[in-house]
Structures are given as structure tokens and as C-alpha cells.
Homo-oligomer: A and B are copies of this chain.
């Protein structure tokens, strides 16, 4: 059974353990063994070095990564999650992303620091910083890593519930699991056909 690292800001939810268990159960339904970072995180006075080491170990064990890229405390995904995306991409593992935000990154920046202005062919926020305007879900490094790895990104609007449900993005997560299952089945089929 392929191991999937379940990265995301879910670990910051009050019901992090429940959400983690629910996501791991969904993983089983799609033929994956889900590894959730909060597993190692029950000691709330935990040492950051130990959490870091435990998460790196889980990522090393994992065959693929599924990343909750729902915006967190700003227009972009959670910083720890994005760090882990770079880490797993560098290990040549397929990375998949999901989010409960349908609105593209540039529009989210507009909500935070707009109105945006076009000048010299680029978009600028009110602080005077340029805004990537490729219609992508987040910074291009994130979106392109997912695409280049053979993964996919799925957004489903789940912003009508409370903040915790919006952050957990369960519908998008399940759709992403389905996409990952299809992709990995295809890859395994191709390897078997070659053999």
C-alpha cells in the first residue's frame, strides 16, 4: 500500500487529531496509507527539533505527498506546508495539492492589499509589490512543482462553513485522493506493462 504524507495546516485546528484520523480513514478508502504529522505531535510541549525530525522521517517514508494548500493567515498556503512541498518535490516524489479556495492568488492579494493596479504590463498591490498574475492558485513555484511532478491541484469552494471546516477542506481532499489514486494506478499499470 502506497504511503501518503498528509501535509497541511490541519495540525493547527482544535480538532487536529480527529481531522487527521478522518483523513487517514479516507486514505484507506482510496488504497493509501496516510501519514499525518500530528501523529507525533500529541505532547503539546514538544520540542521543535523533535517535530521537525519526525516530520522529515514521515516524508522520507512516504511515496507521495498530498498538500492542503488552503490559504492560511494570508493569501498563500501555510509556510510549513510549502516548505514540505519543496522538500518532497526535490526527492522526485509526486506531489498533489488541494484547497477550499477557488479564487486565484492574484484576486486574494487584491482582497488583502488592493485595489491592484496594472503598470508596465504587471499587476501591483497598494504596498508597491508586484503580484504574480498567471491565474494560478498560489505562487508559481508551488503550482508548477505540482504539475511537473505529475500531480494535480484541486480546489472546491468550501468557504460556507466555519473557519475550521474551510481550513480542513475535506471535499477537496477527497477529490484529490481520487486524482492521486487514478494517477498512481496508471503509473503502476505502465510499469507492469513494461515488465
Task: List chain A positions with a Cβ less than 8 A from chain B.
Answer: 9, 12-14, 16, 44-45, 48-49, 51-52, 55, 72-80, 82-91, 109, 112-113, 120-122, 124-125, 127-132, 134, 136, 138-145, 147-148, 163-164, 167
Contacts and interface: CB of A to CB of B under 8 A. Distances in A.
A151 B91 CA distance: 21
Interface of A is mostly: helix
- Count copies of this chain in the complex: 2
Given A52-B148, A73-B74, A86-B90, A79 B112 contact: no
Nearest to A164: B128
A87 B144 CA distance: 13
Contacts of A76: 73-74, 76, 78-79
A2 to B, nearest CB: 20
A150 to B, nearest CB: 14
Contacts of A112: 73
Given A9-B129, A75-B73, A86-B87, A80 B48 contact: no
A163 B127 contact: yes
Contact of A128 (B82, B120, B163): B163
